[in-house]
Structure 1
Amino acid sequence: MLDSNFASTQTLRLTQLHSHDIFYTPLEARFDRLTRLARASLRTPVAAITVRDGQRLWFKSIVGWNVRELSIADSLSERTLASTEAVIIEDTQLDSTTAKHPLVVGGPKFRFYAGQALLDHRGDAVGAFEVFDLRPRALLEQDLQNLHDLVQLARKELLTTDLHDAQVQLVKKLDLARREALMDSLTAVWNRRAADELLQKAIESADEHKLAVAVCVIDINQFKAINDSYGHPAGDRALQKVAQSLVSSVRDGDAVCRTGGDEFLIIMPQVSAGEADTIADRLRRTVHHTPLRTRGGAIQLTVTTGIAVRRPGERSTAEDLVQAADRALYQAKQSVAGLNGPTEPFPARARAQTK
């Protein structure tokens, strides 16, 4: 267990972290890029960036494992948070501190762990960069260097909250409980309530600076069939997969929101019609190339998009803009009905004009 001195010295730093708006913010591509790089370069199925919140760990980014929060006692991070060096456990069943751990003997049954604390400017651990494997293994010297480099990049990103414009304004004005209430708990993106506020702020900013703003409505194709054929847990995982694909496809300043059962909304400030189309094309391709793997086989996910652009000087409301995007979505579904198969995976896009 962590000693009391370590826990007490973190209290002030945790308070400061709260003021830096790290906790309960939506998925961000800048962190997901790093965990994807870690999984590829270190050849592990799971990689995570965690942030310490009291005696809990909150997963700012994770690939390969469906978890959002753990108590520190239930995690494998305790030694890592107490150390300034990388902690490498080549075989968790042979290590006395982890041999009987629930994540080793049950649950995912992790057999390998490597982690390094993310240190703030004072040298205090505010989180960790971690990778996990289901098989015992050793890290090569180059692997250790890769881990160190990724830790430094994650540390820089973690200590530089950079949510864009309306998003950062929304985060800063809310306490943790209210901020959490604007997050979709399943997909870790903004929910409908947040979408309404973020879009209104984006329109106000666009009017002030005489800029365009666009929205993209996304609908998962055949989502009901996924639920009916594979069960609701598979449907939930499909929603999570799509949300992660959307976050990785948009620009850093765009807001990804889940607005309904299988519906998402992307708010794109300072964007041209052509750029909005490019983003929609990219996200559809990303979703298509990220199949959902189930015991019954791989599910090929596809989405249909509808885009609406509000140009400088136009007076359309947020409701007008979303309705226009919904009309474009309907038009796309009608024009390409049945064409989202392997031969034509990316046709489902339409764009509408606002009033």
Structure 2
Amino acid sequence: MVEDATQDERFADNPLVTDEPFIRFYAGYPLNLGQDIHVGTLCAIDRVPRELSAEEQEILYDLSKMVESELAAIALSEAQIQLIEELDELERVAMVDSLTRLWNRLGIETLLKREWEYATRKNSPISIVMIDFDNFKQINDQHGHLVGDEVLQGSTRLIISVLRSYDILGRWGGDEFMLILPGSGREQTAVLLERIQATIAQNPVPTSAGPMAISLSMGESVYLPTRVKHSSIG
């Protein structure tokens, strides 16, 4: 954050400060595609010096994570791109969960088969993670299904924010989700799951009933497709 660019030796002679648009204030958060690629910055600028309160900084950070989630949703794996190209609009709708806008069970099963075939050809590992929301029934019973829906939507956005661009998250059913991690061995998978747990723990999900602290239970399996048949994991 730069409260007054004209007083900051790093930017005082920058053409954007000395000439149009005469930037004085700047604050920004980097935008990353998963953990791998830096794609830009979400920034706020002003022509007058200013400060950002802690609450305003948090809002800017939350907005940056929302943008990252949208970018991650666009950056699809090869299997997802090919599937989308092959399907007509009605077929795509049938494979997408209407609440979370993730792949539904039919979609995720179709993609798992394709990712398995890619992994087999490349002799590459693939990890499959099942994710359950702890005490989700209690949230529904206490606050209603609308809040429960908001929890699922907000939590899955948080999960997506730490995934690689080609990882695949889908709704298996209810509060159960499947995560497919192409090319991810045991160590990589463990690191990613730690990131997911930390992100969920550090970011209560905003809902109409107030922020909700969420916890997840996750179980993973790591496969080398040349040693295991796809049908054996059903």
TM-score by length of 1: 0.46
Match of 2:76 in 1: 163
Report whether the alignment pairs 1:281 with 2:194.
yes
* 1:203 aligned counterpart, secondary structure: helix
Instruction: Write the distance in 2 (CA, Å) between the matches of 1:218 and 1:267.
Output: 11
Instruction: Write the distance in 2 (CA, Å) between the matches of 1:193 and 1:251.
Output: 22
Match of 2:167 in 1: 254
Report whether the alignment pairs 1:173 with 2:79.
no
Q: Describe the shift of the 1:267–1:249 C-alpha distance in structure 2 as closer, same or farther (beyond 3 A).
A: same
Match of 2:183 in 1: 270
- Given the alignment, which residue of 191, 196, 204 partners 2:104? 191
Instruction: Write the distance in 1 (CA, Å) between the matches of 2:148 and 2:217.
Output: 17
Q: Describe the shift of the 1:140–1:308 C-alpha distance in structure 2 as closer, same or farther (beyond 3 A).
A: same
Q: Is the 8 A contact 2:169 2:178 kept in 1?
A: yes
- Given the alignment, which residue of 110, 133, 142 partners 1:220? 133
Instruction: Write the distance in 1 (CA, Å) between the matches of 2:201 and 2:106.
Output: 28
Q: Is the 8 A contact 1:207 1:312 kept in 2?
A: yes
- Given the alignment, which residue of 173, 196, 206 partners 2:119? 206
Instruction: Write the distance in 1 (CA, Å) between the matches of 2:105 and 2:224.
Output: 23
Per chain length, whose mean CA-contact separation is higher, i.e. which structure has more relative contact order (CA < 8 Å, sep 6+)? 2
Instruction: Write the distance in 2 (CA, Å) between the matches of 1:207 and 1:186.
Output: 33
* 2:206 aligned counterpart, secondary structure: strand
Alignment root-mean-square deviation, CA: 2.8
* 1:215 aligned counterpart, secondary structure: strand
Instruction: Write the distance in 2 (CA, Å) between the matches of 1:141 and 1:188.
Output: 39
* 1:307 aligned counterpart, secondary structure: strand
Match of 2:6 in 1: none
* 2:177 aligned counterpart, secondary structure: strand
Within 5 A, what are the aligned runs for 1:1-355? Answer: 30=33, 38=42, 41-42=43-44, 140-141=46-47, 162-294=75-207, 296-318=209-231, 320=233
Give the percent of matched residue pairs that are identical in Structure 1 and Structure 2. 31
Q: Deviations over 1:87-119 (max 9, x none)?
A: xxxxxxxxxxxxxxxxxxxxxxxxxxxxxxxxx
Q: Is the 8 A contact 2:125 2:184 kept in 1?
A: yes
- Residue ranges of structure 2 left out of the alignment (5+ in a row): 1-31, 49-66
Q: Deviations over 1:313-349 (max 9, x none)?
A: 21232551x6xxxxxxxxxxxxxxxxxxxxxxxxxxx
* 1:266 aligned counterpart, secondary structure: strand
Instruction: Write the distance in 1 (CA, Å) between the matches of 2:167 and 2:231.
Output: 16
Q: 1:266 Cα deviation (Å)?
A: 0.6
Q: Is the 8 A contact 2:126 2:183 kept in 1?
A: yes
Instruction: Write the distance in 1 (CA, Å) between the matches of 2:109 and 2:176.
Output: 14
* 1:314 aligned counterpart, secondary structure: coil
